[in-house]
Amino acid sequence: MEIANTQEKLALKQMYAVLSNLGIPLTVCWLPDPRKSAHGEIKNNVICIYDSDETVAMETFVHELLEFKLKLVTEVYRALVNSLIETYEKLCYKRKEEFLDSLPKVLEVIAELKSHSD
């Protein structure tokens, strides 16, 4: 859906100016769609805004912009957590394999012990 009136075009121009002034490598697309459950989202480095009302669309733009900036901070923690998970998964796998490798010997010793007691 094309942005029809001059005021809406001005709002979109302001959004682009904010992105440019802040050096944020995103573009913005205003696609009013009342059927969408979300006000907006970031997809493929594009801030998509679905609100029809200009004031709400600007609020959504600011929200998505702040979410983008916050994500830059939180992705460091996400990488750290994922790294820890990967490390512990490898450790757990190694211990499981060691256990499985030792199991026949354990069962053999138990069977031998049982045969001596009979």
Amino acid, single-letter form, for residue 118:
D
Residue 1 lies in a domain: no
What domain count does the chain have? 1
Instruction: Residue 54: give the domain boundaries.
Output: 6-117
Residue 38 lies in a domain: yes
Buried b (16+ CB within 10 A) or exposed e, 40-62: beeeeeebbbbbeebeebbebbe
pLDDT in 10s for each residue of the chain, 118 residues: 444 578 788 899 999 999 999 999 999 999 888 899 999 999 999 999 999 899 999 999 999 999 999 999 999 999 999 999 999 999 999 999 999 999 999 999 999 888 887 6
pTM above 0.85, yes or no: no
Residue 77 lies in a domain: yes
CA distance 65 to 42: 9
Residue 96 lies in a domain: yes
